[in-house]
């Protein structure tokens, strides 16, 4: 499966990739605007000398190096860090929470030449003022104290190939068939930098049945939008000795309120705004208290899974919530 339409995560993610955070990462019968996920590539240096980003095979190798390391003995971290806003009808937009985390991935080349990305990712909700990782949050929309449920996706896997992947099955609920489209990403060259933006719009049945999950579910359908912007050094993209590409960028998401906020079907939604990237040590991005929290509660998330198993399901955050949590009683 692939994260955030051909990714993840979203993710309800963490962008990760956080590239986390997808990402965080999504649910049942997804339906995405495929045309929004590809476009025209522009720039003189896109066609070589190492890879041709005007072709599906070239983008496969380039995108694999964004998401992992062609050296299968190595793993790669991707991080995200930002905040979440609450959008309420006829009221000011509210800065609600911080959100940060990381994913760690490994690539495994398949017999057909594709690359399986094997990913774990963790996303933590934090106090906007102190950066403290929250275990309880006073919801300013209701003045109710609620227990925070962080994101922990293990695994979240997808395959990078010459064509755009099929939409995720999300528990085999999505049976839609779409034609194969060459995997050509909309790279734009600006001086020494390559830029690329992808966004996807999802509308799918909710894994949390509102009849059962009265306080947690926003309704029978889920509406989500995810946007990713990548910035990469053009020379490194065309350097055959560079097996993994450092990158920087942004990740944005529009999603219903999180189930643990206990807002039910009241009107409103959440908007995520975050930086994301790779190539830095996690200590350069996240505070010691965030890394210590992961070390204590999610220690295996510093290490990527060892092998790719196509039969292991990659579940969305809402699917995991339905499996691991209980409906609110109170």
pLDDT digits (tens, 9 = 90+) for 82-91: 999 999 999 9
**Digit-coded pLDDT (tens) for 220-266:** 999 999 999 999 999 999 999 999 999 999 999 999 999 999 999 99
* Owning domain of residue 75: 34-324
Query: Are the C-beta atoms of 204 and 58 separated by less than 8 Å?
Result: no
The secondary structure of 160-185 as a DSSP string is: E-SBPPPPP-TTTT--------B---
How far CA 22 is from CA of 83, 99, 226, 228, in Å, comes to: 15, 12, 8, 10
Strands 247-255 and 269-278: antiparallel
Residue 24 lies in a domain: no
Residue 77 lies in a domain: yes
Average confidence (pLDDT) over 304-321: 86
310 — alpha (psi -120 to 50), left (phi > 0) or beta?
alpha
Mean pLDDT of the chain: 85
**Digit-coded pLDDT (tens) for 49-68:** 999 999 999 999 999 999 99
Query: Is it the case that residue 313 has pLDDT exceeding 90?
Result: no
pLDDT score, position 314 = 78
Residue 9 lies in a domain: no
**Digit-coded pLDDT (tens) for 113-169:** 999 999 999 999 999 999 999 999 999 999 999 999 999 988 888 899 999 866 555
**Looking at the DSSP assignment, which residues form a beta bridge with residue 251?**
228, 274
Residue 78 lies in a domain: yes
Q: Is 324 exposed, middle or buried (0-12, 13-18, 19+ CB in 10 A)?
A: exposed
The answer to whether the bond into 49 is cis (omega within 30° of 0) is: yes
- DSSP-derived letter for residue 45 is G
Residue 7 lies in a domain: no
Q: What are phi and psi of 178, to 5 degrees?
A: -125, 150
185 CA to centre of own chain: 17
- DSSP-derived letter for residue 258 is P
Higher pLDDT, residue 203 or 297: 297
Share of residues in the chain with pLDDT > 90 (%): 69
**Digit-coded pLDDT (tens) for 181-199:** 899 999 999 999 999 998 8
Give the number of domains in the chain.
1
* CA 223/CA 286 separation, integer angstroms: 30
Residue 29 lies in a domain: no
């Amino acid at each position: 499966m692939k994260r955030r339409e051909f990714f993840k995560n979203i993710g309800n993610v963490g962008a990760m990739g956080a590239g986390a955070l997808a990402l965080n990462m999504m649910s049942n019968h997804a339906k995405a605007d495929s045309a929004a996920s590809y476009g025209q590539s522009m720039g003189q240096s896109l066609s070589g000398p190492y890879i041709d980003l005007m072709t599906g095979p070239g983008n496969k190798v380039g995108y694999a190096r964004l998401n992992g390391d062609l050296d299968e003995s190595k793993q790669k971290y991707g991080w995200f860090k930002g905040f979440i806003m609450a959008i309420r009808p006829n009221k000011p937009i509210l800065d609600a929470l911080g959100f940060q985390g990381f994913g760690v991935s490994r690539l495994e080349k398949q017999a057909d030449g594709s690359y399986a990305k094997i990913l774990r990712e963790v996303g933590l909700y934090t106090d906007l003022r102190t950066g403290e990782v929250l275990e309880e949050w006073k919801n300013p929309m209701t003045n109710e104290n609620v227990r925070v449920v962080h994101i922990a996706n293990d695994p979240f896997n997808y395959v990078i190939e010459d064509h755009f992947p099929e939409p995720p099955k999300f528990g085999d609920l999505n049976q839609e068939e779409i034609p194969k489209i060459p995997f050509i990403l909309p790279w734009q060259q600006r001086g020494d930098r390559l830029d690329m933006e992808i966004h996807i719009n999802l509308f799918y049945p909710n894994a949390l049945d509102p009849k059962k999950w009265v306080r947690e579910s926003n309704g029978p359908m889920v509406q989500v939008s995810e946007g990713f912007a990548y910035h990469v050094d053009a020379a490194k993209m065309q350097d055959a000795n560079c097996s993994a590409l450092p990158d920087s960028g942004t990740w944005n998401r529009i999603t219903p309120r999180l189930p643990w906020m206990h807002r039910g079907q009241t009107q409103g939604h959440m908007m995520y705004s975050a930086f994301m990237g790779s190539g830095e040590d996690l200590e350069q991005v996240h505070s010691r208290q965030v890394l210590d929290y992961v070390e204590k509660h999610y220690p295996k998330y510093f290490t990527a899974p060892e092998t790719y198993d196509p039969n292991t399901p990659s579940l969305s955050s809402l699917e995991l919530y339905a499996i691991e949590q209980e409906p609110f009683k109170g």
